[in-house]
Homo-oligomer: A and B are copies of this chain.
Amino acid sequence: MELSERKLKILQAIIGDYVRTAEPVGSRTLSKKPELGYSPATIRNEMADLEELGYLTHPHTSAGRVPSDKAYRLYVNALMEKKELSKEEKNIIAERLHSTTDEFEKTIEHAASVLSEITNLTSFALTPKKNEDVLKFINLLPVDECTVVLMIVSESGKVSNKAVHMSVPYTEENLQLLSKTMTYNYKGKTISQALTNNIIANFETDIVAMSGLAEDVMPNFMRTLEDMLNVNLYMEGLTNIFDIPEYSDLSKARSFIEMLSQKEELTKKLIERDDGIIVTIGEENSDDIMQDCSLITASYHVDGKLVGKIGVIGPTRMKYGEVTSIIEYLTDNLNNTFKLESGGNKENE
């Protein structure tokens, strides 16, 4: 069912109010708004419809309405207005990004920090692998009865080794077969491509026959890739969460912080996200503990090549329009910075 013009207007007003106040919004409050010249009763009727359609919920009988994830999704897709940043905001961003010396990592760190300050949310940034290295071949070498060495070689000549303890016996034949299959599947892929789940899925169907072997090897393979990728995760404004009424409950704040403390998992989740500005709202997030968070990420580029990620995480009740505008401006700015600065001297080991 298409929503009528009036329903959309009411929904938009509810979202706007709720995002601002964090209080369920009632019919009386809405009818007072000049752009909504209806009586509370009319609005109540519409709200009841919207609730039936799944756009609103009701904390309890005598409370106002609260937008659902579905409502936020509609809002982000269609209703939301992007906010033009004020001159001061633009200045703050530009200044903070360029005040720094020309160290790449520091610039990213500052970007995350300015992002969290302006949005009052928790921000993070993922630095890119400096050169997106491509896998060349994968080898498994027998060491003793229950140990093999996993060797990964990249086009750029980087070699990584890892000893793997096998829980099942193996034959050299099997080992070679697995090496070949892995090489066949991963050769030519970049490390970050190899790290995204979908490739693994395809791959695992290929080698059902020797899955016992693969189960020992694959986790180690993935971990070694992570080490090779060597991205850094910066996080800023972690304690902003305490200013958000939804998290005034200790146990909620706790699980939020607990989630963000798991850096490896978070990193993987961020790497897997598509490029461009991506908004995932509440239950759209695959992760259980993110069910009442929204995540907005964007990718930024260095030398035109695609790579790093930056974004914020906060309650589903967030200023989507404002935050996406800020992130857009910020990533544009980052992209320009890393384009002009032709060969910035990064510190080297």
Contact = CB atoms under 8 A, between A and B. Distances in A.
Interface of A: 101, 160-163, 227, 238-239, 242, 248, 250-251, 253-254, 257-258, 261, 345, 347, 349
Contact of A239 (B101, B227, B258, B349): B258
A162 B101 contact: yes
A242 B238 contact: no
Main secondary structure of the interface of A (DSSP, over half): helix
A140 B242 CA distance: 45
A101 B239 CA distance: 34
A238, A239, A345: residue with the most chain B Cβ atoms closer than 10 Å: A239
Contacts of A257: 238-239, 257
A161 B347 CA distance: 9
Contacts of A227: 347
Contacts of A347: 160, 227
A257 B237 CA distance: 11
A101 B349 CA distance: 23
Nearest to A235: B261
Nearest to A243: B254
B242 A250 contact: yes
A95 to B, nearest CB: 14
A227 B348 CA distance: 11
A209 to B, nearest CB: 28
Of all A-B residue pairs in the complex, the 3 with the closest CB atoms, nearest first, are A242-B254, A239-B258, A239-B254
Contacts of A250: 242, 248, 250, 253
A250 to B, nearest CB: 6
A68 to B, nearest CB: 27
A163 B258 contact: no
Given A227-B347, A349-B349, A163 B238 contact: no
7 contacts: A160-B347, A227-B347, A238-B257, A239-B254, A239-B257, A242-B250, A242-B251
Contacts of A101: 162-163
Nearest to A105: B227
A238 B253 contact: no
A101 B101 CA distance: 37
Nearest to A242: B254
A251 B349 CA distance: 41
A162 B100 CA distance: 11
A261 B238 contact: yes
A160 B345 CA distance: 11
A238 B263 CA distance: 13
A161 B101 CA distance: 11
Contacts of A248: 250
A163 B102 CA distance: 9
